[in-house]
Amino acid sequence: RKEVEQDPGPFNVPEGATVAFNCTYSNSASQSFFWYRQDCRKEPKLLMSVYSSGNEDGRFTAQLNRASQYISLLIRDSKLSDSATYLCVVNNNFNKFYFGSGTKLNVKP
């Protein structure tokens, strides 16, 4: 079983739409959670950390559900520039981070 699993998509949405991604993780002892964004043929870039109480950064909201072992990312008012692959990342409090394979988002005009 993979440490982190994501729906690969693609999610095709119109500009202005709200879209949500989920990511499940297998290790209940996982401590840190992150969302990264990766543009085609580029390096992953940190989008936001995910805190137990949930957190928001502008149009982006991240939530953690420890009981069901998943994290989510909500994007409101989608922009063309949001088109990218979104990677879920989980750390188990040692030196190892586990990356999901990513969810591809296409925002259409």
Partner 1 sequence: DAGITQSPRHKVTETGTPVTLRCHQTENHRYMYWYRQDPGHGLRLIHYSYGVKDTDKGEVSDGYSVSRSKTEDFLLTLESATSSQTSVYFCAISKVRNQPQHFGDGTRLSIL
Binding site for partner 1 (CB under 8 A): 4, 31-32, 34, 42-46, 49, 87, 91, 93-97, 99-102
Q: Name 33's Cβ contacts closer than 8 Å, sequence gap at least 6.
A: 25, 49, 50, 62, 64, 71, 88, 89, 90, 91
Closer to partner 1 by CB, 8 or 16: give it.
8
Closer to partner 1 by CB, 1 or 14: give it.
1
Phi-psi region of 96 (alpha: psi -120 to 50; beta: other; left: phi over 0): beta
Residue 18 corresponds to which tokens in the numbers above?
Answer: 């709200």
Closer to partner 1 by CB, 62 or 78: give it.
62
Query: From the CB of 17, what's the least distance to partner 1, in Å?
Result: 26
